[in-house]
Chains A and B, each alone.
Chain A
Amino acid sequence: MTDIPHLSVRNLSKVFATDLFVKPHTAIDNITCFFPEGKCIGLMGHNGAGKTTTIKTIFGLLKPSKGEILFKGRPLQVADKSEIGYMPEVNKLAANLTCKEILQYHMKIYRPKGVAKKLYPDLIEKKLREVELWDARHKKVTKLSKGMGRRLSWSQATIHNPDLVILDEPFSGLDPLGRKLMSRLIESIRQESKTIILCTHELGSVNQICDELHILQQGKLAFSTINPQPNQLPAPIFSYKLKITGIDSETLAKIQKQHSLPDWEFLHTEDLLHTLGFDDYIHGIKWIRCLIENGILFTEFRKHQGFEELDLEQYFIT
């Protein structure tokens, strides 16, 4: 193991500007993250947070608008992809080929180092048995169930024994048994000290499997941590405080009622100085507009930041 990360993403941005008349959309914005060798790194985020775009940009399927992708410290080349395995978020398999033919094709493309060609059939058989698809080896992809397709996608991503495996939503569409098998398979390559990048919404898996975690939010890297533990994720809390002076509590309540102003999150009153707290900036602005219109004095409107510790699920929802 070296100090150089297995894969580095530096200042990566992707802007989609598909149409002259449509405003460009920034899918990922200046992301920098490192994927150390032999670790399992979770990449999390809501739908549309930019996880899949990041992965597609890593593989060169999308051209980055800015930034670079380094593989073992140097720019990622086409030939380097032979050391990477990719399982896409949905089954993306050639429709009229059989399970066996798909793996045969992949073996011919990847040509794993140190494996003689005559051993390919044995490897394919081993892989298909591992994912319980040996009996379906002559079935065409179109005849497979979604779960079988996921397992075939797994085989396709790992048959060449890659050092780095990128799994995009490996659990999606799997029944409990399928999830169990998938968890076991991921755990097995984790035991082999492979680098794994796991994009998932399965919070339980992230807690169990991942050594590190990156959370994306609206295309930006919102948060990164090492050894994510339940109940230890600091979530930023933003609040806006408005200080009003010169009126008593009754007048304050009257003004709110009269102008249908938003409720405050907290209120602290000391003599004629009221400190109102809002979690929404717009609420504060509505109050300020009303105060100005009515000639009431306010002395301060400020954003405050604090942290609270949340578990992964709460964090994800927040």
Chain B
Amino acid sequence: MKNFIPITQETFVRLRRDRIFLPASIAGIGLIILSAFASYWGVEEFFKILYDLGTTVYHFTGATVAIFWGIKIIQDSRQEGSLEVQLASPVGRSEWLLAKYTGLATALGSLAVLFICGWQCVYFAYGMGWMGWNQFGIFALLTLSWLVVGASSILMSIMATYAVALFASFWLFAVGLLTAPLMQSMAPDTPQHIRQFINSLAGLWNLHYFNLFEIGANQQNLDPGMIGERLAYATALIGFCLGLGAFIFRKKDLAN
């Protein structure tokens, strides 16, 4: 794993220079500020609206960027052929893939820092001072969901072409967001087998699980157990996606 750091650095530099980075940062921060305005107009439920809208914006913007970048880092390397040159060097395929993911995670991390700074500005603007650990925790957990989406996009882009991978990743993201609300809103007379299917799907792939906006809206404290559960869930999903991705990647012919 000696080459892990150079590949991670290379990926980070390339993503940082990517055309999506700046628009995504501006759009994300802009939308967070807009959600702050919206919450100001609904005075009575200030925190509810602030966190409801703010976390949704944070979740969607980051996940969308994670999908684009997750696919881009694999497909661009494949299309421009740098993948060929890099793997003709003393770099193992799994190592390359893992380092690429780490580069993606680092770039998403820097985007998260920018968004959190935007959120902190909203706090200052409303005279609420510095964010507490609870608020920071809510966004850190949401960032975990970006990392999960990024890993799933990498898996898709290893298996499929650019367009198919993009479509499949967005579809997976949408399913991940919908399973839990679907499970909760099922009518009592829903057939048992459908109920069981939705329950197991929501147990396996539930991106809504990372969005703890109620904690922020109700000004509650984050429970360490809650954080641990989500951390373990995210680790399992990322591990599964990258493990399967690495397995497929090792078996594949890499020629464009």
Contacts and interface: CB of A to CB of B under 8 A. Distances in A.
Interface in B75-95: 76-77, 80-82, 84-92
B251 interface: yes
Interface in A104-135: 105-106, 108-111
A222 interface: no
Interface in B39-90: 76-77, 80-82, 84-90
Interface string B6-35: 110110011001100000000000000000
Given A59-B88, A61-B255, A62-B254, A109 B82 contact: no
B223 interface: no
A56 interface: yes
A76 to B, nearest CB: 11
Interface in A195-220: none
A65 to B, nearest CB: 10
Contacts of A62: 253-255
A92 B87 contact: no
A56 B5 CA distance: 25
Contact of A105 (B6, B18, B251, B253): B6
A84 B13 CA distance: 26
Nearest to B254: A61
Contact of B13 (A60, A88, A97): A97
Given A61-B253, A61-B254, A82 B89 contact: yes
Nearest to A141: B80
Interface string A67-98: 00000000000111110101010111111110
Interface string A157-180: 000000000000000000000000
A97 B14 contact: yes
A110 B251 contact: no
B84 to A, nearest CB: 5
Contacts of A63: 251, 253
A101 interface: yes
A156 interface: yes
B3 interface: yes
Contacts of A59: 84, 87-88
B87 A109 contact: no
A96 B90 contact: no
Given A62-B254, A97-B10, A92 B85 contact: yes
A110 B90 contact: yes
A94 B90 contact: no
- Interface size on B, as a range, is 20 to 34
Given A62-B255, A78-B90, A92 B84 contact: yes
Contacts of A56: 84, 254-255
Contacts of B91: 78, 81, 109
Contacts of B77: 94
A91 B17 CA distance: 21
Contacts of B2: 111
Contacts of A91: 81
Nearest to A81: B90
B192 to A, nearest CB: 38
Nearest to B86: A109
Contact of A86 (B3, B88, B251, B254): B88
Q: Which of B17, B18, B251 has the most CB of A within 10 A?
A: B17
A81 B89 contact: yes
A86 B85 contact: yes
Contacts of A79: 90
A95 B11 CA distance: 12
Contacts of B84: 56, 59, 61, 88, 92
Contacts of B18: 96
B249 to A, nearest CB: 12
Contact of A109 (B90, B253, B254, B255): B90
Contacts of B87: 59-61
Q: Which of B10, B85, B86, B92 has the most CB of A within 10 A?
A: B85
B10 A88 contact: no
A82 B90 CA distance: 5
A79 B7 CA distance: 16
A106 B119 CA distance: 39
B93 to A, nearest CB: 8
A109 B86 CA distance: 9
A93 B82 contact: yes
Contacts of B90: 78-82, 109-110
B6 to A, nearest CB: 4
B174 to A, nearest CB: 30
A93 B80 contact: yes
A81 B3 CA distance: 13
A192 B171 CA distance: 56
Contacts of B14: 94, 96-97
A41 to B, nearest CB: 18
Interface of A: 16, 53, 56, 59-63, 78-82, 84, 86, 88, 90-97, 101, 105-106, 108-111, 156
Given A106-B89, A109-B90, 7 more contacts: A88-B81, A92-B81, A95-B80, A96-B14, A97-B13, A101-B13, A105-B10
6 contacts: A61-B255, A78-B92, A93-B80, A93-B85, A97-B14, A109-B89
5 nearest CB pairs, A to B: A92-B81, A108-B6, A82-B90, A59-B88, A86-B88
